[in-house]
Structures are given as structure tokens and as C-alpha cells.
Amino acid sequence: MTGMTHSWSLAAHSGFSARRLTLALLGVLCLAMPLLPERGHAQQAQPGVLLELFTSQGCSSCPPADALLAELAANQSEIIPLALHVDYWDYIGWKDTFADAAYTLRQKSYARAMQARTVYTPQMIVAGQDVIVGAKPMELGKHLQNHLMQGPQVGMSAQRNGNALSVVVDAIAGPAKGGYVVELVRYLPQATVQVTRGENAGANLTHVNIVTRWERLAEWSGAAPFELNVSIDGEEPIVLIVQQAGFGPVLAASRIE
């Protein structure tokens, strides 16, 4: 079920630097970037378009995609980029320090839901719907721009006050489609890893927005407004997601940094 994108090489095939590719992506988006509010006693969630990158430190095709994610994390506040490190590359000599079998399962679950026969690294999924294999800034920018123009499909607000997190989701407009899930994600903003074996042996890889926890808070019918209060700890940023059950479209995503 697993595909590997060895054939795409940024330096050998495209002639572009990672910086030029990411600048091309940012040019496609042409977004106004509002300033995030300063951290205060009560932190309000900021909405955005969810971008999931399935990646691995053991995959030689992944660093360009990691670089795209880093540029988006640094420059686009209306996008919520997350890196999910998969474990199916670990067997070839380097065990990814952030890999989790749960993220591999998430990627394969997307493939089943989309009736795809194969998964790849790197692979990006925008808003639970659009799939990009490899580091393709123009294609990625097109999908991100479409979802930004569309906006969230359901209203969601969230606020953190100390260790208390409150979430409110509006009722779904129109008939529900098989139910929905409300999920909470925590991530590590940045880390650099020295890889000593495998395809990226000798490289110092910098990763951003590394998912460390993905938790389902509730299942929800969508027919009535949803409210939830949960206790949280730690300083890692928070992402809240409303997604159609069965790995369908992401209706809303918000972040508290």
C-alpha cells in the first residue's frame, strides 16, 4: 500500500532551490496576512486551512516538502500546516525520531476513504480533500487559495484560559453527512535532527509544526450546536479540527499558539 517518491529530486531535476520553490508558492497565494494577537491571559483560536504533510526523516524526497511547510509556517497565518511523521521508512536504516504508527494509520485511512491504492512520502492533504504528492508549490498554492476563498464550512470558536479550553461549534447548515468528529492536536513548533543513517545520512534536518498528539475529543451529529470544555496542560500550540467522520472533508480548523 505504500508508495515512495524516489524519482523526484529538487536539486537534480528541477533546477530550483527550495527557497525559490517556496517563494513561488507564496506568490500564488497572494494572501493578506493578518497579525496574530499577542499572547494574553485568554487566547482566542485563529481559523485557518488545515494542511497535513506526511513525511519521514528516512525519505530522501521529503526535505523539499519539509521546506515548503516551513515557509508556510513562517509566512502564512491563515494556513495551519502540520507535519505527521510516518514510520514505514524506519526499516531502511534510520528510525524517524518523531514517527508514530498512528500517523501512518491516518495516512492509510485517507487513502482508503479516497479509494487510492497507494500512499506516498512526501504527501500533502489540504482540508482533508486535496492530495499533492511531492513538493509542488504551484499545485499546493492553487488548492490552498481555493479553500481560503471558500472559508470554513462550519462556524467554530475556541478559547484557552490557563489550563481550561472551551470549544463551541455551530450546527451544520443543511443535512448532516454521516456525522463528524472534533479533534485536538498538539505540535512542537521546531526541531533539528542530525540523521546518521539511511537515505538522508549526514543531513541536519529542521522540521516545523511536528505533531506530537492527535486526540479525538468527541463525535458529533452536526444537527445542534456543540460545546465542550476540556482541561489541557503544556505550552505546545493547539489545533482544533472539525472533520466529517470517515476521513472526509475538514469543515473547520483553528489554532491557538
145-192 pLDDT, tens per residue? 999 999 999 999 999 999 999 999 999 987 777 899 999 999 999 999
Cβ neighbours of 13 (radius 10 Å):
9
Residue pLDDT, tens place only, 110-143: 999 999 999 999 999 999 999 999 999 999 999 9
Distance CA 105, CA 108 (A): 5
DSSP 166-189: EEEEPPPSS---S-EEEEEEEEEE
202 lies in a domain? yes
Q: Where are the alpha helices (DSSP H) in 60-132?
A: 62-75, 101-113
DSSP summary character for residue 167: E
Distance CA 212, CA 158 (A): 20
162 lies in a domain? yes
Per the structure, the complete domain to which residue 78 belongs is given by 12-28+45-256
71 lies in a domain? yes
7 lies in a domain? no
149 lies in a domain? yes
- Cβ neighbours of residue 112 closer than 8 Å, sequence gap 6 or more: 247
114 lies in a domain? yes
Tally of structural domains, the chain: 1
CATH value at residue 164: 3.40.30.10
CB 249 within 8 A of CB 181: no
5 lies in a domain? no
User: Does the pLDDT of residue 235 top 90, yes or no?
Assistant: yes
pTM above 0.95, yes or no: no
CB 10 within 8 A of CB 64: yes
Residue pLDDT, tens place only, 20-73: 555 555 555 544 344 444 445 689 999 999 999 999 999 999 999 999 999 999
Cβ neighbours of 9 (radius 10 Å):
12
